[in-house]
Amino acid sequence: MKKILKWAALGFVGLVILGAIIGGGGSNDSGSGDSAKSASGKSDSGKSGDGESSCGIEATDDCTPRVRMGRKVRVDALIWDVTAVEVKDQIGDTQYGLGEKADGRFVVVSLTVHSDRDESATITSEQIKLDIGGNTYDPDLDGTIAALGEGDEPLWYEDIGPDSTVRSMVVFDVPPSKLRKKLALRFGELGFGETHGYIEIPSAEITGLP
């Protein structure tokens, strides 16, 4: 009888050890799955070693792309590209009241936007913010009107059709002390969505800095 109990106890211990081995293997498989998901860009909203986001260029609930100037971001099927950034004291000829002087400095951003939507959409400057160290600046109305008076084509209310590209500009009025800080353009969705994409602007790419 004792011998039977001894073998039963050994069998029970063996089952416990086997269960632990199988459980450990399952845990490792789960970890591999998470790594694969992160590599696919569907759940990883972190940054890579060079400061850019590691989840791709398309804004989703799980990804807020952040790229350097010279690359593009995609938000709500609109693909944004910053082509030039210039700092100005004024826009237009202020001598005859046709231009506007900046309260600080005007940051004039030239950009293109391409639509991959299957229907026309209306884009506005309200989809674009200037982010400086976590503080956001809205497009400046006076600077935008002055640019219109100059014959430029600032982004105001612009219809864009399917598979079309619009070239435009956005004007911001920024305190001079902020211009040497980290600048980025933040692009939002059409409507009231919460996904965003960022294009960072190195100071070396900004013309007209003092």
Which band of pLDDT confidence, cut at 50, 70 and 90, is reported for residue 156?
A: confident
Tokens encoding 129: 């913010």
E-state strands within 56-127 = 66-68, 73-75, 78-91, 100-115, 121-124
> Per CATH, the architecture of 66-207 is what?
Sandwich (2.60)
pLDDT digits (tens, 9 = 90+) for 102-130: 999 999 999 999 999 999 999 999 899 99
Least Cα distance to 200 among 64, 104, 106 occurs for 64
CA distance 124 to 131: 17
Q: What angle is formed at CA 160 by the lines to CA 195 and CA 144, rounded to 5 degrees?
A: 80
pLDDT at residue 30 in the model: 33
Q: Where are the domains of the chain?
A: 1-40, 66-207
What percent of the chain stands above pLDDT 70? 76
Average pLDDT score over residue span 5-28: 39
- Tell me what pLDDT residue 43 has: 37
**pLDDT value of residue 47:** 57
The predicted pLDDT at position 210 comes to: 81
